[in-house]
Amino acid sequence: MVTTETTSPPTLPQIIQGGMGIGVSNWRLANAVSRLGQLGVVSGTVIDTVLVRRLQDGDPGGHMRRALAHFPIPGIADELLRRYFLPEGRAPGAPYHLLPMYKQVVSSARQRVTVAAGFVETWLAREGHENDVGMNLLTKVQMPNLPTLYGAMLAGVATVIMGAGIPREIPGALDALASHRKATLRFDVEGLARDDAEWLTFDPAEIWPEGTLPATPLRRPHFYPVVSAVSLAATLARKSNGRVDGFVVEGPTAGGHNAPPRGAMQLDALGQPIYGERDAVDLVKLAELGLPFWVAGGVGTPDGLCAARAAGAAGIQVGTLFAFCDESGLAPDIKQETLRGVLSGTVEVRTDPRASPTGYPFKVVQLPGHEQDAAERERICDLGYLREAVKRDDGRMIYRCAAEPVNTYMQKGGTFCDTDGRRCLCNGLLADVGLAQERDGHVEPPLVTSGDDLASLAHFASPEGYTAGEVLEWLLHGTLVATA
Ligand SMILES: Cc1cc2nc3c(=O)[nH]c(=O)nc-3n(C[C@H](O)[C@H](O)[C@H](O)COP(=O)(O)O)c2cc1C
């Protein structure tokens, strides 16, 4: 367990390796980047399922078990291994054993898995060097966030980066968790009466055996929300319930989810959201807030770094270039297929306003072989991380996802229109990193995301691949080690 009472003054990296879920920015990638002196970031999104699936696949290399052996809360590592570790891996075609889906209140055993998973990913990213490591989480995937953060903090995470929502209450939660106190977030629930509020709570005291809760505080990580407007940055800086230490300012060309355009949504001929001048962030105004910031989205070039720094940024956050490098969690065949497509000019990225059940635009790489599989996929919701909570008139809380079977969604009060075009990000993104669920001979198809700038890999990547170190070398010094 990593403890420190005060937070050391930040040494600001020029490059933040973007947090990429699910499992794309894994411990291996973050470790490689941090080792080289920039900020490596693990994704904490759905990390509990990632951990139990790696264990069910036999934990090749023993990394999960090595990290679990350092988990400070007694009994939990053994419990996890007993329940999920299959030394020989799954039998061919056998489905993964699923964790119970998150709800407002879950069992302590369920929370323990999530805490352990946040710990394991961070611990491995920090192994063998002294440099800082960050964790990225999506504000919208609310329910597992507190236990994931606590696990990451037990492993000494230095920075927490959160977008896809307005994480105003995370600074206070980090303060509470650093002193092993109960942390609380206002739970986003549809259908609440005006004066009604629901809460998500996580209390470390409930997972440490009685009498063992540590007295020494944990390191309180720096907190960088991801913003796409100065007004949001200003609100977060002034009205959060604790310290905000900087910002990642992300443009609409960035991979993964994007903020919707300002004003009414207008689509181009390909059905993609149209962004305009109002969506550009005034970096001069952002700098006036007096906090460091990193520019993200289509700036992953040596010139992009220089321009960002000239505009007052500490540096840039880069995703796409790292997503397809050797150390990332993407499955090797997906990396190769995408790189080949990029080099031959046959792969495209589409900003899909409908794909994500969150309602946020989401970038989808159009991989020819997989689009058909995805279109034919039978709807099923068995992971549920993107489920929204709805309070019914009778006071009961229900959970629904616009990508679940249409009838089920409508029985829960959802509208047919809402389900149109929605895709199961949970299963699709897990398939991207080699953790696809199999059911009765059907394997979940991947759903690959990247930034608009995917094509720029072409002047960097060779078909054999490239390393995170080569990406850093190029961004920082303009040196191209790998050539096409
Ligand atoms: C494959 C992939 C997955 C991503 N997933 C997340 C995520 O889970 N959370 C997040 O805040 N940003 C996510 N991003 C955005 C990156 O963190 C980063 O801000 C962005 O990629 C920067 O733009 P670039 O891709 O043009 O370099 C993702 C990006 C990619 C390429």
Q: State the pLDDT at residue 484.
A: 39
The predicted pLDDT at position 131 comes to: 97
Rounded to 10 deg, the angle between the 27-35 and 108-126 helix axes is 30
**The CATH number of domain 15-330+465-477 is 3.40.50:** no
Cβ-contact 328, 24 below 8 angstroms: yes
Q: For 174-212, how does the pLDDT look when each residue is reduced to its tens digit (9 = 90+)?
A: 999 999 999 999 999 999 988 899 999 999 999 999 999
Nearest CA to ligand 1 atom 13: 20
Ligand 1: lining residues by beta carbon, under 6 Å: 18-21, 24, 43, 45, 136, 138, 163, 226, 250, 253-256, 296-298, 300, 317-320, 323, 449-451, 453
Atom in ligand 1 nearest the alpha carbon of residue 450: 31
Indicate the domain borders of the chain: 15-330+465-477
Residue 247 and residue 286 in contact, taking contact as beta carbons nearer than 8 Å: yes
Q: What pLDDT shows up at residue 251?
A: 85
Ligand 1: centre distance to CA 243 (Å)? 24
* pLDDT at residue 6 in the model: 43
Burial label, 25 (beta-carbon count in 10 A; 0-12, 13-18, 19+): buried
Which amino acid makes up residue 431? Answer: A
pTM of the model: 0.95
Low-confidence ranges of the chain (pLDDT < 50): 5-9, 482-484
CA atoms within 13 A on the CB side of 72: 19
What type of residue sits at position 205?
A
Q: What is the pLDDT of residues 353-406, one digit of tens each?
A: 999 998 899 999 988 777 767 777 889 999 999 999 999 989 899 999 999 999
pLDDT computed for residue 10 by the predictor: 54
Probe target for ligand 1 pocket from 17, 148, 299, 320, with the most ligand atoms within 8 Å of CB: 320
Specify the pLDDT at position 276.
86
At residue 61, the pLDDT reads 97
Report the alpha-carbon distance of residue 156 to residue 480 in Å, rounded. 34
Mutate to test the pocket of ligand 1, among 20, 42, 450, 456 (most ligand atoms within 8 A of CB): 20
Rounded to the nearest angstrom, the distance between the alpha carbon of 320 and the centre of ligand 1 is 7
How close is the Cα of 32 to the center of ligand 1, in Å?
17
Distance 85 CA to ligand 1 centre (A): 30
What is the model's pLDDT at position 3?
Answer: 55
Name the one residue in this structure whose structure tokens are 């951990």. Answer: 51
Q: Which of 174, 270, 289 is closest to 231 using CA atoms?
A: 289
Ligand 1 center–CA 165 separation, angstroms: 15
Atom of ligand 1 nearest to the CA of 250: 19
Tell me: cis bond preceding 274? Omega within 30 of 0 counts.
Answer: no
Q: What are phi and psi of 352, to 5 degrees?
A: -95, 115
pLDDT of residue 454: 87
Ligand 1 center from residue 228 Cα (angstroms) = 13
Please tell me the distance from the alpha carbon of residue 337 to that of residue 327, in angstroms, as a whole number: 16
